[in-house]
């Protein structure tokens, strides 16, 4: 193995600042501070903001979401607006459907001429065209 390429694996003291708990373990983490442990030896100290001692999940202080209450609130809202949703569905059925898009729309977005426009253009061309002379 090459020398001086691997981190130093040593005994380190971890301290949870919120819970004021400390424990000793082995790690390669760099630490600036040192502390004297219960055995009288000095070890590097790593301060943690959160650990199993202070995390709400592990301490039992985590709040659970009341899913039953959420369902009841949804049902209550649905009952009060049931007539409005039916009216919206009826209005949606009366709108025109775009053939080339395949969904419901209130106005036609296509730029293609309609059958009526085509027939009016053809009749207008016939009227404007001069009569052919027979020789």
Domain ranges for the chain, please list them: 10-59
For residue 37, give the DSSP letter: -
**Angle made by CA atoms 86, 104, 98, in degrees to the nearest 5:** 155
pLDDT at residue 130 above 90? no
Mean pLDDT value of segment 99-114? 60
Model confidence pLDDT, tens digit, residues 43-92:
999 999 888 888 777 677 666 666 677 778 878 877 877 656 555 555 55
**Residue 98: other Cβ atoms inside 10 A:** 14
- Specify the pLDDT at position 129: 64
- Specify the pLDDT at position 3: 85
Secondary structure (DSSP) of 61-89: -PPPP-HHHHHHHHHHHHHHTHHHHHHHH
Say what percent of the chain tops pLDDT 90: 27
Cβ neighbours of residue 92 under 8 Å, at least 6 residues apart? Answer: 104
Helix axes 82-94, 67-80, angle to 10 degrees: 60
Please, how many CA atoms are within 13 Å of residue 9, restricted to the half-sphere of its CB?
Answer: 3
- Specify the pLDDT at position 119: 84
Q: Which residue has the higher pLDDT, 111 or 80?
A: 80
pTM exceeding 0.85? no
């Amino acid at each position: 193995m090459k020398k001086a390429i691997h981190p130093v694996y040593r005994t380190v003291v971890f301290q949870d600042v919120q819970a004021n708990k400390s424990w000793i373990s082995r790690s390669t983490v760099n630490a600036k501070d040192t502390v004297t442990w219960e055995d009288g030896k000095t070890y590097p100290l790593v301060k943690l903001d959160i650990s199993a001692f202070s995390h709400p999940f592990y301490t039992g202080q985590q709040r659970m979401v009341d899913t039953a209450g959420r369902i009841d609130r949804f049902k209550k809202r649905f009952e009060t607006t049931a007539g409005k949703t039916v009216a919206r569905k009826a209005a949606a059925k009366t709108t025109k459907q775009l053939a080339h898009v395949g969904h419901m729309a209130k106005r036609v977005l296509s730029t293609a001429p309609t059958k009526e426009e085509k027939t009016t253009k053809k009749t207008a061309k016939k009227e404007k065209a001069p009569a052919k002379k027979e020789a």
